[in-house]
Amino acid sequence: MKYLPVLLLFITGCGITGAVISDTYIQDTGSLEAHFCPGNCDTVLINEINKAEEYLDCALFELDHPLIQQAVINSKVPKRIITDNNYLEEFDKPYVKTDTWGLMHNKFCVIDGKTVTTGSMNPTVNGVTKNNNNLVVIHSKLVSDQYQDEFDEMWNGTFKKGNNVRNPEISLGESFLKVYFCPEDRCADRVKKELKKATHEIYFMTFSFTHEEIGNILLLKHTDGITVKGVMEARQVTKYSQFERLKFQGIDVVKDKNKQNMHHKVFIIDNRTVITGSFNPSNNGDKGNDENIVIIDDVDIAKGFLKEFEKVYG
Residues 184-221 pLDDT 10s: 999 999 999 999 999 999 999 999 999 999 999 999 99
Q: Is the per-residue pLDDT at 43 higher than 60? A: yes
Q: Could you tell me the CATH number of the domain that includes residue 32? A: 3.30.870.10
So what's the pLDDT on residue 18? 33
Displacement of CA 171 from its chain's centroid (Å): 17
Non-local (6+) Cβ contacts of 245 within 8 A are 215, 219
So what's the pLDDT on residue 9? 30
Q: Which of 150, 182, 214 is the last residue of a domain?
A: 182
Is residue 173 domain-shared with residue 193, that is, in the same domain?
no
Is residue 264 domain-shared with residue 155, that is, in the same domain?
no
Is residue 92 domain-shared with residue 223, that is, in the same domain?
no
- Give me the domain span that covers residue 94: 4-182
- Over the chain, what is the mean pLDDT? 92
Is residue 87 domain-shared with residue 195, that is, in the same domain?
no
pLDDT band at 24 (very low <50, low <70, confident <90, very high): confident
Is residue 43 domain-shared with residue 130, that is, in the same domain?
yes
Is residue 92 domain-shared with residue 202, that is, in the same domain?
no
Q: Is the per-residue pLDDT at 142 higher than 60? A: yes
Q: Which of 182, 206, 230 is the last residue of a domain?
A: 182
Is residue 233 domain-shared with residue 283, that is, in the same domain?
yes
Number of neighbouring beta carbons within 10 Å of residue 245: 15
Residue 117 to residue 135: CA distance in whole angstroms: 7
Is residue 248 domain-shared with residue 147, that is, in the same domain?
no
Is residue 27 domain-shared with residue 161, that is, in the same domain?
yes
Q: Which of 135, 159, 182 is the last residue of a domain?
A: 182
Residue 98 to residue 104: CA distance in whole angstroms: 8
Q: pTM score, two decimals? A: 0.91
Residue 44 to residue 213: CA distance in whole angstroms: 35
So what's the pLDDT on residue 21? 41
Sign, CA dihedral 244-104-116-152, equals positive
Is residue 32 domain-shared with residue 132, that is, in the same domain?
yes
Non-local (6+) Cβ contacts of 42 within 8 A are 65, 67, 68, 123, 128, 129
Domains of the chain: total: 2
Is residue 226 domain-shared with residue 263, that is, in the same domain?
yes
In this prediction, residues 106-129 reach a mean pLDDT of 98
In this prediction, residues 172-179 reach a mean pLDDT of 96
Q: Is the per-residue pLDDT at 10 higher than 70? A: no
Is residue 68 domain-shared with residue 166, that is, in the same domain?
yes
